[in-house]
Amino acid sequence: MNDEEVLALYYSGDPSASAEADRLYGNYCRSVASNILNDPRDVEECVSDALLTAWQTVPEAKPKRLGAYLARLTRNAALNRYRSFTAEKRGGGAAELAFSEIGEIVSPHGNPEDEAVTHELSEVISEFIRGLPDGQREMFIDFFWYFEKPAEIALKHGKTRNNVHTQMRKILKKLQKYLIERGFYQ
């Protein structure tokens, strides 16, 4: 079964849609969640939450790419769970590192923004990522979207961990400048 067929199941309200989506993209979603969460049970629950959300939202959202849509729902579910954990349970993984790196370019006293600002920010960040050279774009996505470990990213890109870290810092500095220029913050 392909994307179109699974989406057709969603649109027609066929309960087998979730099982088919899981069969197609379950492991992809698990790999997304397991970069953020340590406990396999949490990972499974996040994937289940994502599939449930997809069941409720796909008919209206009409995603063009079902896999990417499910991955995003899984990432959101995993991050929500991650944020509810204590520092000890978070386990000091790549997600914690990513939050800490991002924390370097925003004010420590900054407040969360509403959905509209976040949406606008996403569009600007998409534009920023498109402007990055290929290697940096991949690394940025690996680290800040997929929360892959710097060691894995280094291995994937044939770099050292220090090099990955340095590159991330440089990209974030660029992003900070980009966002300041566009009036997102001072």
Partner 1 sequence: MNADTIIDAIGDIDEELYDRSAKNLRTAAPKAKAKALVFSSKHVLRIAIAAALVIVIGVGLMLTSSAKGDVLPPAQIEAAPAEAAKDPVKAWMEPAEIPADAVFAPVRKPNGQAHGCSNPEYFLGFVSAFEKADAVCLVTVEDWLSECMFCTFFEASVDKVYKGELPEKIVLRQEANSSFSMYNTPLFTYGNKLLVFLNVWDDWDEGVQRHENAYVMMTYGTGYLFYAQDKAGNDYLIDQVGEISSATREKKEAKLTDQYSTELISELIEYIDKQDGELAKSIELFTHDTDRLQNVPQGAPMRVYSFEDMDELLNDLIKGE
**Which residue in the set 55, 85, 138, 178 belongs to the binding site for partner 1 (CB under 8 A)?**
138
Residue span 81-110 as binding mask against partner 1, x where in contact by CB under 8 A, dash where not: --x--------------xx--xx-xxx--x
Q: Is 43 in the site for partner 1 (CB under 8 A)?
A: yes
Question: Does residue 52 bind partner 1 (CB under 8 A)?
Answer: no
Measured CA to CA, the distance from residue 77 to residue 114 in angstroms comes to 18
Q: How far is the CB of 74 from partner 1 (least distance, A)?
A: 10
Per residue, the 3-state secondary structure of the chain, as one string, reads: CCHHHHHHHHHCCCCHHHHHHHHHHHHHHHHHHHCCCCCHHHHHHHHHHHHHHHHHHHHHHCCCCHHHHHHHHHHHHHHHHHHHCCHHHHCCCHHHHHHHHHHCCCCCCCCCCCHHHHHHHHHHHHHHHHCCCHHHHHHHHHHHHCCCCHHHHHHHHCCCHHHHHHHHHHHHHHHHHHHHHCCCCC
Please select the residue that binds partner 1; options are 45, 59, 67, 136, rule is CB under 8 A: 67
Say whether residue 130 binds partner 1 (CB under 8 A).
yes
Q: Which is nearer to partner 1, 14 or 39 (CB)?
A: 39
* Residue 184 engages partner 1 in binding (rule: CB under 8 A): yes
What is the signed CA dihedral for 89, 110, 177, 83, rounded to 10 degrees? 20
Candidate list 14, 56, 65, 177; residue touching partner 1; CB under 8 A:
65
Q: Give whichever of 13 and 130 is closer to partner 1, judged by the CB atom.
A: 130
Interface residue list for partner 1 (CB under 8 A): 23-28, 30-31, 34, 39-40, 43, 63-72, 75-76, 79, 83, 98-99, 102-103, 105-107, 110-113, 117-119, 121-122, 125-126, 129-130, 137-138, 141, 144-146, 149-152, 154-158, 160-161, 184-185
